[in-house]
Structure 1
Amino acid sequence: MAHKFKELQIWQRSRAFCSVIYKLTSDFPETEKFGLVNQLRRASVSIPSNIAEGSSRSSNKDFIRFLTISIGSAYEIETQLLIAYDLKFISEQELKQVINDLNEIIKMISKFKSSLHI
């Protein structure tokens, strides 16, 4: 059962979140271009990308696997954001806002995932 991923709120929200991460990391030190900047951007792109790829799969079981990968990428981002905060690349306010957004996305994906019947 294929889902139209562009119509999924979880895809729309996680796609918008990518822009937030790209803007946030644009102020990181140049020395982090291939470090945290790259890791955060790749992980943020991974969330909507896995939702899109999973939606094309023929079974909900496969889709659930890709949604699980998306959630894993979200937790990867949270860890990297905490490291960025420790290194003083982002403020406490920025950290709280972005992690709040991320937690909402995780909840949305988890809820959607549990609505799929195997």
Structure 2
Amino acid sequence: MEVKKEVKKEVKMEVKKDNSFSRSFKDLECWQKAHEFVLAVYKVTKLFPEDERYGLTSQFRRAAVSIAANICEGYKKLSKADKLRFMNIAQGSLEECRYYIILSRDIEYIDQQTHDRLEYIINGASWKLNGYAEGISKNAGVKD
């Protein structure tokens, strides 16, 4: 008779608001929304003038990627302070992108419809990110 040993993997999980667990940053709604925004920014900035390649195009893309990347990095931090620091950096990059959306419209690189679509996506990301940061602040399951 063969005896099988049950091996339990230690997997870092965080409790979400609905009491389910996330195993990866990819499970976070704030990251999903931020990633959606990054993809939209890349698509839109492909149409920017070539002379903006190292200017607004680069800055806008960098700031958009920073939102999602800081959510990822903060997700794996163990202390509440570290997690919140990375979420705060993501929030700062998000606000930077809000300005680039306005600027892109005002210098006529994007039309009003594209502006509104980007605003809609970034507002969703902002709402989810703020909720996640608030949850970290209040969560007793995260070390101080």
1:79 matches 2:106: no
1:10 matches 2:17: no
Q: Provide the aligned length of Structure 1 versus Structure 2.
A: 118
SS of the aligned residue for 1:58 comes to coil
Structure whose residues are more often helix by fraction: 1
Give the aligned CA root-mean-square deviation in angstroms: 1.4
Q: Give me the TM-score of the superposition, normalised by structure 1.
A: 0.93
Letter in 1 for 2:115: L
Superposed CA deviations along residues 66-89 of structure 1, whole A, max 9, x for unmatched, are: 111111111101101111111100
Identify unmatched segments of 5+ residues in structure 1: none
Moved more, 1-10 or 53-62: 1-10
Map 1:100-111 onto structure 2 (within 5 A): 100-111=120-131
From the CA coordinates, give the structure whose radius of gyration is larger: 2
Alpha-carbon contact 2:33-2:124 (below 8 Å) kept: no
Map 1:23-38 onto structure 2 (within 5 A): 23-38=43-58
1:66 matches 2:86: yes
SS of the aligned residue for 2:110 comes to coil
1:56 matches 2:76: yes
Residue identity over aligned pairs, in percent, reads 32
Identify unmatched segments of 5+ residues in structure 2: 1-11, 15-23, 139-143
Map 1:33-44 onto structure 2 (within 5 A): 33-44=53-64
